[in-house]
Amino acid sequence: MLFRLCLEVGCFHPDHLKRKLTSRQIADWLAYSEIEPWGMAHQELLHGVAVSNIVNANGVKPPARAKDFMPSADWLMSAEEIFATFGGLK
């Protein structure tokens, strides 16, 4: 994950990044990437949304989800999982 962060911020190598940021700052960036993905994870999400929209426009039952077209979507939570994890909206 540090290599992805390096690509995002224009850093040459994680060793250089570790000298510039505290461990807390690196942890914050990694946590942020879980909420707002960038790079390949972001592209994969966009692809999943586009393909699921095309499939669903053709009346497939049950409806396809973006996650169905994302090979590494372990990090993506469904609405039900979000509500179960965070206790719903208040």
Phi, psi dihedrals of residue 44, rounded to the nearest 5°: -65, -40
Residue with structure tokens 């879980």? 34
The span from the CA of 10 to the CA of 51, in Å, is: 31
Domain ranges of the chain: 2-86
3-state secondary structure of 77: coil
Total Cβ atoms within 10 A of residue 11: 18
Task: Say whether pLDDT at 90 is over 50.
Answer: no
- pLDDT > 70? residue 80: no
Q: What is the pLDDT of residues 5-54, one digit of tens each?
A: 887 778 888 888 888 888 888 888 878 877 777 777 778 888 889 999 99
85 band by pLDDT with thresholds 50, 70 and 90: low
